[in-house]
Amino acid sequence: MDAFARKLLAWHACEGRHDLPWQQRPTPYRVWVSEIMLQQTQVGTVIPYYKRFMARFPDVSALAQASLDEVLALWAGLGYYARARNLHAAARQVAAEHNGVFPDEVESLQELPGIGRSTAAAIAALSAGRCHAILDGNVKRVLCRYHAVPGWPGRAAVERRLWALAEAHTPAKDVAAYTQAIMDLGATLCTRRRPQCEACPVADGCEARAQGREAEFPGSRPGRERPTREICVLIVRNQADEVLLERRPAAGVWAGLWSLPEVPEPGQAGQWCNQSLGSPGTAPGEAESIVHEFTHFRLLLRPLHVRLEQAPAALGEQGLAWIGPDAREHYGMPAPVQRLLGALWAN
């Protein structure tokens, strides 16, 4: 075991996080769900979602037997919804191919939807103590600074260098503790902004600190301008003051979620309502727009309020549904749609 690993383990024993919900009874299934939720999402945000998810789906069989709507409803607001769809698909694959027993070997884990090399290694290491290196965002940042690795970690050559370093530092024993330790270091001390180098257990060997260049590592992603897209969303209400939702297609933005109907221009709202609901409704009233940030673009939503005096109660197989405030928890909706409806029903 090298000095880097020894210092991390000693620090983690005293200062690391030991009370996270997925650290209690760390089965492969429980660790898997946490690892997927933690992708692109901070621990504080994940914890309440994880607790609700585990209460509803305590094991992989319960998740496999659930409908995708149930899964998406519990995921609503967490973002990156492909993660939820992959969870559901992977659970069904485990039920079909592994007799409902969630695997803990890297090779089997990587055959499941949504599980790549680092996630598979984390599940195997944290749940079964198998000796595999991980390379998530926190670990990349720690290693980039400690070894002053130049370049953006998303570049293939830089990533290969980081994998070699990750494997060199990962000890043959105490792998679960070491894996948690290096993730904790990146999450709590070696943060993206204002790293707390004075408290870091490996600061004396950090090349970036020695050079006074902590802020330069990891290298930044090559710059590119994020475009802004604009859509008009219809807040269609019926006589019972319920709002119409439309299921999104199986591919693309918010795939499979329930959202508000969209039209290219405000003037097409009546036409959409007439074709889909048999009534054009009132002239649309435009409300204040809201902005939702994606990784690669910015989305501007222009809400148009439409009231239907006569609306079909049964919508058949159209992928449409009327919902009221009490039914929100049963429909997986994107965060900006939740914001719009929350503001509507709060008034």
Collapse the DSSP code of 40 into the 3-class scheme (helix H, G, I; strand E, B; otherwise coil) and give the result.
coil
| CA atoms within a 13 Å half-sphere pointing along the CA-CB vector of 293 | 2
In angstroms, the CA 335 to CA 322 distance is: 18
In Å, how far from its chain's centre is CA 49? Answer: 11
Only one residue has tokens 């290969």, namely 160
Count the helices and strands in the chain (H runs, E runs).
14, 8
Pick the catalytic residue from 15, 35, 286, 329: 35
In angstroms, the CA 343 to CA 123 distance is: 40
Q: Are strands 298-307 and 228-237 parallel, antiparallel or unpaired?
A: parallel
Whether 166 and 138 have beta carbons less than 8 Å apart is answered as: no
In Å, how far from its chain's centre is CA 17? Answer: 21
Does the active-site annotation cover 242?
A: no
Q: How would you class 262 by CB atoms within 10 Å of its CB: exposed for 0-12, middle for 13-18, buried for 19 or more? A: middle
Would you state the structure tokens that stand for residue 114, as one six-digit string? Answer: 């949504």
Give catalytic residue positions. 35
